[in-house]
Amino acid sequence: MPTYEPRDKYYRKARERGLPSRAAFKIEELIARAKLVPRGGRIADLGCAPGGWLAILARAAGPEGRVVGVDLARCANPPPGVLAIVGDITDPATVSRAIEALGGPADLVTSDLAPKLTGIAARDEARSEEVLAAALEFARRSLREGGAMVAKVFMGPRFKQIVSAFERDFSQVEVTRTAATRPGSSELYVIARGFRRRDGGAPS
């Protein structure tokens, strides 16, 4: 049986480095492995609170970069230059605000979105898929041709369909785990590269 250690080595490492969450180590590993963040890049981080991914993404993009976060919850101390929008990613007004704040086509969209769990499996799966669909739609509207997406997904009965949805929009899709994912978790990450705009034009 997997052991669950709430204050594990990643929790301690996050505290030592002044990072708001241990989740930061997941995106640090993924972007390093797949070289996903260009210096000066434009990045949207969906489900950004309390801000662990924002800290890593902002550092990787550098001072010339533009990093915009979205979450239902407020990020207490976003890194300098980062805009953290409080809003629901399924709300079109939030989507428009975030796209506008990016100031141009995004190089990377990341999603660590996870709805509050109710314990009712069917409902939790449906809500996870709903926010993931909203993140994918955000990526379709905001990414540049050739751009990339990293998204948290959960292993479940509709896993194959979920991966297929990414394969329709990206030329390269990989599903992976991160070292910082807790043992026994069904959490996986999709790394999708080579975004293909369906309209062939600039993002709306």
- Near ligand SAM by CB under 6 A: residue from 10, 29, 50, 61: 50
Dihedral class, residue 194 (left if φ above 0, else alpha if ψ from -120 to 50, else beta) = left
Specify the stretch interacting with ligand SAM by CB under 6 A; choose among 2-10, 49-57, 181-189, 192-200.
49-57
Task: Print the SS3 string covering 46-82.
Answer: ECCCCCHHHHHHHHHHCCCCEEEEEECCCCCCCCCCC
Residues near 191 by Cβ (< 8 Å), separated by ≥ 6?
30, 34, 36, 148, 149, 150, 173, 174, 175, 176
- Near ligand SAM by CB under 6 A: residue from 73, 76, 117, 122: 73
- Near ligand SAM by CB under 6 A: residue from 14, 23, 67, 98: 23
Residue 124 touches ligand SAM, criterion: CB under 6 A: no
Residue 24 touches ligand SAM, criterion: CB under 6 A: yes
Are the beta carbons of 152 and 189 closer than 8 angstroms? yes
Give the Cβ contact number of residue 204 at 10 Å. Answer: 9
Whichever of 30 and 70 has its CB closer to ligand SAM, that residue is 70
- Near ligand SAM by CB under 6 A: residue from 30, 42, 44, 47: 47
Q: By CB under 6 A, how many residues form the interface with ligand SAM?
A: 23
Whichever of 24 and 139 has its CB closer to ligand SAM, that residue is 24
Closest C-alpha among 108, 104, 102, 103 to residue 35:
108
Q: How many CA atoms lie within 13 A of 167 on its CB side?
A: 8
Whichever of 66 and 178 has its CB closer to ligand SAM, that residue is 178
Whichever of 29 and 71 has its CB closer to ligand SAM, that residue is 71
Closest distance between ligand SAM and the C-beta of residue 89, in Å? Answer: 4
Alpha helices in 35-194 (DSSP H): 52-61, 92-102, 121-142, 159-169
Asked about 26 being catalytic, the answer comes back as no
Are the beta carbons of 166 and 173 closer than 8 angstroms? yes
Residue 51 touches ligand SAM, criterion: CB under 6 A: yes
Where do we find the tokens 């629901």? 88
Binding mask 76-115 for ligand SAM (x = CB under 6 A): ------------xxx---------------------xxxx
Q: Which residues bind ligand SAM (CB under 6 A)?
A: 20-21, 23-24, 47-53, 70-73, 88-90, 112-115, 131
Q: Which residues are catalytic, by number?
A: 152
